[in-house]
Amino acid sequence: MGGKAFGRILGGVVAGAWGGSLLGVLEAAMIVATSPSLSEFGLFPFAVCAYGVMGAGLGAAASVLLWAAGWKPERQKLWLAVHAAAGMLPIGFVVGRYHLAQRVFAEQFPALWSAAGLAWTTGLVIASALLAVLGAALVSLVAGRESSWAAPRLLLLWLVGCATAALGARWFTPVVPEPQRRATAEGAKPNVVLVIVDTLRADALGFASGKATTPRIDALAREAVYFRNAYAQSSWTRPSVATILTGLHPVEHGAIQKFDPLPEGVVTIAEFLRDAGYWTAGFVTNINVAPIFNFQQGFGEYHYLAPSFYFGASDSATRLSAYKLLRLVRERFFRRHLYFYHYYQDAKVMREHVARWLAAKPPEPFFLLLHYMDPHDPYFEIPYNGKGIARVLDPNPPATQAAEMRRLYDADVTYFDEQFGELLSEFRRRGLLDRTLLVVTADHGEEFHEHGGWWHGTTLYEEQLLVPLMIRRPGGVGAGTERTDWAQTLDLAPTILAQAGLPATPSLRGRDLFSDQPPPEFLYAQETLEGNRLESLHWQHWKLVVANPDNPRGLPAVALFDLMVDPEERNNLAASNAEVVRAMQLRLDQARSLFSSRARR
């Protein structure tokens, strides 16, 4: 390869990097503009560098192809402009399609051969081409006058841009001062500890399954009131935890889809308790409830125990489509071992952080939120040895793997039980437990091929909605009581506030579980994830589940189950019980209409 050819290819690489970086900055700016709770800006340097490298690769490929095809324009700036466009156009199309699918189409972009798919795809191509033309013009302008130094000048400026983005992100990230811990509540108020265990099935606990998986939680249940029929209102974390914290249905609080934050307009139990004089603190390790999604509102201190993200990414950078692609490639093709710290911080790390917090003697009364992740996939071998099963590596395992996956899951639940048991001992040792309202529940369950699938978030079957719920009241009041009436995670906010002595709040939709209020007439749940739009209604012994007809999970549009005789939901009775379906559909429509009318806009 001659010197001129090498120079042109180098120029194509640099111009492609510019095109990719410009596109990355645009995506980062869009994410910032639509994320009012963003507290750091590490996505900008990540976008500049990651998209720059991608664009450079596209520029190199275009250079080789064009040079081999004999296109060798005399004007260096024309060559650079074309390669900047080559870096922007395909990346722009992919990024645009990703965000449209996520934000507009609930993760289900219209099929290419449909009228809507053709229209949106054509529009994306045109928009990407226009961006590429604008990017090419900008690169040509920055390259300056026609000379052999145009490409080196662009390279130098690109490196300066990377450094500026990194320094700017650091400069504009606010330094959060250490909170001044204080509580102002008057009179004897109980502390409140709310423990949410991600992905914990109701039958994962030892006393519920007959297996010796959770001896410490089993012992706690004997000191608490246990609710045998407690249901979540959604089957994935963000809408479900938002419901727990707000006492609102998902359609009301609005944190439903992957890009939805918890809106500022809703009021959390942390805010109610803070205003009543409680010190409020949270320790979480799931990015779905991290400050980037505004779940810290109402907390005097909110500790997000972040995983060790790949490629040095920050929380905000994980929202870039480039990060998601790079992470997928890294885990699918370059993974040697699985370790928890790439996904979350485990129960041992959580225990250590909370123990230090307790040792600092926080002011009382306090409200403490703990959100654990250990039962969530990946399912790790315990003790950790780098082995495990992860959804990102194998989204659709064979049915023959169900027993092994459940074995690993149960081992992770046992590990959580051990670490949480040690933390409970710390509460006892400090004399805190008997003056604390302790609530232990889950945000949703998990599927192990009971209905032909895995994981969670794509169905509303019992294994994903039925969750453990136990409430240990101060002094152990009601210890050992088991209740079989319907309870909802929706009920936790009004229950906690009532037990803390706060007046009833009409905006909360659930009930105080220790009041004389009767159980609800029906239970309503909803889900919008990965192209699946689902609703369910429990009424008497019937359960209705409706799904969008084209749902990717392949669920029937209407399913009816008699839970009294078919608790595992094996037999769809919709076809033979048309009257029941009509009656329940009417109730479902009424529930949807009622809750939607109260939705936060």
Give 299's contacts (C-beta < 8 A, 6+ positions apart).
270, 274, 280, 281, 282, 369
Q: How far apart are CA 342 and CA 306, in angstroms?
A: 9
Task: Give SS3 for 455.
Answer: strand
- Give the integer Cα–Cα distance in Å for 19 and 48: 10
Average pLDDT of the chain is 88
Instruction: List phi, psi (to 5°) of 195.
Output: -110, 120
Do 521 and 533 touch, CB atoms closer than 8 A? no
pLDDT of residue 598: 67
- Give the pLDDT of residue 80: 72
* More confident of the two residues 558 and 170: 558
pLDDT category at 417 given cuts 50, 70, 90 is: very high
Separation CA 554–CA 542 (nearest Å): 22
Domain locations in the chain? 3-172, 191-307+343-520
Share of the chain above pLDDT 70, in %: 90
pLDDT for res 488: 97
Rounded to whole angstroms, the Cα distance separating 116 from 530 reads 19
According to DSSP, the residues that pair with 558 across neighbouring strands are 546
Predicted local distance difference test score (pLDDT) of residue 357: 96
User: 588 phi and psi, to 5 degrees?
Assistant: -65, -45
What is the rounded distance in angstroms from the CA atom of residue 172 to the CA atom of residue 312? 18
24-38, 167-181, 548-562: segment of lowest average pLDDT: 167-181
Tokens of 178: 């250490």
> 202 pLDDT exceeds 90?
yes
For residue 68, give the amino acid letter.
Answer: A
DSSP letter string over 327-387?
HHHHHHHS-----GGGT---HHHHHHHHHHHHHT---SSEEEEEEE-TTSSSEE-SS--S-
* Angular region, 578: left φ>0, alpha ψ -120 to 50, beta rest: alpha
**Sign of torsion over alpha carbons 496, 501, 507, 511:** positive
Chain segment 131-176, per-residue pLDDT in tens: 888 877 877 777 666 556 666 766 677 777 767 766 666 666 655 5
Residue 601 has pLDDT above 60, yes or no: no
285 backbone dihedrals φ, ψ, rounded to 5°? -140, 20
pLDDT for the residue numbered 181: 67
Lowest mean pLDDT among 32-46, 140-154, 538-552: 140-154
Q: Is the pLDDT of residue 503 over 90?
A: no
Cα–Cα distance list, 295 to 117, 288, 290, 412 (Å): 35, 9, 6, 26
pLDDT of the residue at 22: 86
Which residue is it, tokens 């870096």?
87
Residue 398 to residues 394, 401, 454: CA-CA distances in angstroms?
A: 10, 6, 10
pLDDT value at position 560? Answer: 98
Q: Write down the pLDDT at residue 145.
A: 65
Three-class SS of residue 276? coil
- Output the six-digit token pair for 582: 């009509």
% of the chain exceeding 90 in pLDDT: 55
Q: What is the helix, strand, coil percentage profile of the chain, to 5? A: 50, 15, 40
Supply the CATH classification number for the domain 191-307+343-520.
Answer: 3.40.720.10
**Which residue did the predictor score with more confidence, 289 or 206?**
289
Contacts for 171 with CB less than 8 Å, ≥ 6 apart: none
pLDDT number for residue 11: 74
pLDDT in tens, 345-358: 999 999 999 999 99
Q: How large is the average pLDDT for residues 289-294?
A: 92
Do you know the residue count of the chain?
601
Residue 479's nearest CA partner among 230, 196, 220 is 220
User: What was the pLDDT predicted at 230?
Assistant: 97
Helices and strands (H and E) in the chain: how many: 16, 17
Specify the 3-state DSSP secondary structure of 481. Answer: strand
Name the pLDDT band for 38 (thresholds 50, 70, 90): confident
> Of 236-240, 337-341, 450-454, 592-596, where does mean pLDDT reach its minimum?
592-596
Burial class (CB in 10 A: 0-12, 13-18, 19+), 566: middle
Q: How far is CA 288 from the centre of its chain?
A: 3
Give pLDDT, residue 461.
98
522-529: strand order across its sheet: 522-529, 532-539, 542-547, 558-562
Say if residues 351 and 292 touch (Cβ distance below 8 Å): no
